[in-house]
Structure 1
Amino acid sequence: MILIFAVDNNWNIGFAGGMLTEIKADLKRFREITEGNIVIMGRKTLEAIPGQKPLPNRINILITRNKEFNREGFYTINDLKDLFPLLREINPKGEMEVFLTGGGSVVRQLIDHCNKAYITKILKDFEKADTSIPNLDLLDEWKIVSQSDIYYQNELPYKYVDYVRK
């Protein structure tokens, strides 16, 4: 599995059910990297997507404890033990990459199954943030394999940092 997130300096990813900010180039990069592959998200992440629809040109998997919660266009699972059999069923040859797209709770439960990460580091501390993911820079088992120059959207600096599990 591959983590793909935009984080601030404190590895926060969201506030009040939404993203901290939207960077157009980052959203385009997210789409280009994940299209044709599998994306996994929790219910709160789905609810942050406009229209709460599946991401187009991807297989969408939704993780929720709510057994009554279903959305058309998603494979829905209520227990993580069902995730890996589902992935083997829909991706038997492993030809598609599997991306973990949110949220924080799902990442904490599945990070040990991830071996790569595409992180957009927003070089700012957001005062209003209530959701984070583990800081890969502080975890000995992760290392940076590439990073971009610093880009700007308006006055907001960010860069792309790719990690792999050692």
Structure 2
Amino acid sequence: MITIIAAAAENNALGINNQMIWHLPDDFKRFRTLTTGHYIIMGRKTFESLPKLLPNRTHVIITRQQDYPVPEGCIRVNSLEEAIKACPQDETIFIIGGGEIYKQSMAIADTIELTRVYTNPEADAYFPEINPHEWQLISDEFHPKDDKHAFDFSFQTFTKIK
């Protein structure tokens, strides 16, 4: 099972200068709950944007840099295909970014766990369009902005139409 997990604005903005645009504590909690205990696949820039290794997850880092140093317990690969092969076959795999890795993953993913953030910021990284002929929205849980969340957002789950 391959799951894409992301937070994207209404205009599909993901981030700018390798940083997230918003701070949504409930999104972080959901991300942690869903990905803990699993393999997480990411591009090098996404890995470098993490403040630290995410506990209780196996990090698979895609980079073309053959000598890129990865911390103990992480796996370095050269392509998305290699990243998938590096994970156990019975494992739920999470694709966590960035924009180019998401784009490559759309054809092979089974599920998308998307936090849709209701804003349209400037960005330099974008989530790919979700084709309604290929993906079915099966869950959409709205959360209004509050003192901890500057924007309205929804937790959305899509499954691939077979």
Name the residue aligned to 2:15: 14
Calculate the TM-score normalised by the size of structure 2.
Answer: 0.90
> Could you say which structure has the higher helix fraction?
1
Name the residue aligned to 2:86: 86
Name the residue aligned to 2:93: 98
In the alignment, the residues of structure 1 paired with residue 82 and residue 142 of structure 2 have an alpha-carbon distance, to the nearest angstrom, of: 40
1:110 paired with 2:105, answer yes
In the alignment, the residues of structure 2 paired with residue 6 and residue 25 of structure 1 have an alpha-carbon distance, to the nearest angstrom, of: 11
Q: 1:54·1:74 contact (CA, 8 Å) conserved in 2?
A: no
Q: Secondary structure at the match of 1:47?
A: helix
1:141 to 123, 134, 137: 134
Q: 1:118·1:162 contact (CA, 8 Å) conserved in 2?
A: yes
1:24 paired with 2:25, answer yes
Runs (5+) with no aligned partner, structure 2: none
Runs (5+) with no aligned partner, structure 1: none
Deviation at 1:153, TM superposition (A): 4.0
Q: 1:120·1:158 contact (CA, 8 Å) conserved in 2?
A: yes
Deviation at 1:43, TM superposition (A): 0.5
Deviation at 1:139, TM superposition (A): 4.0
Calculate the TM-score normalised by the size of structure 1.
Answer: 0.88
Q: Which amino acid aligns with 1:85?
A: K
Q: 1:23·1:153 contact (CA, 8 Å) conserved in 2?
A: no
Deviations 1:44-67 (A, max 9, x none): 1011111xx321101110000111
1:121 paired with 2:116, answer yes
In the alignment, the residues of structure 2 paired with residue 115 and residue 81 of structure 1 have an alpha-carbon distance, to the nearest angstrom, of: 15
Over the aligned positions, Cα root-mean-square deviation in angstroms equals 1.4
Q: Secondary structure at the match of 1:113?
A: coil
Name the residue aligned to 1:43: 44
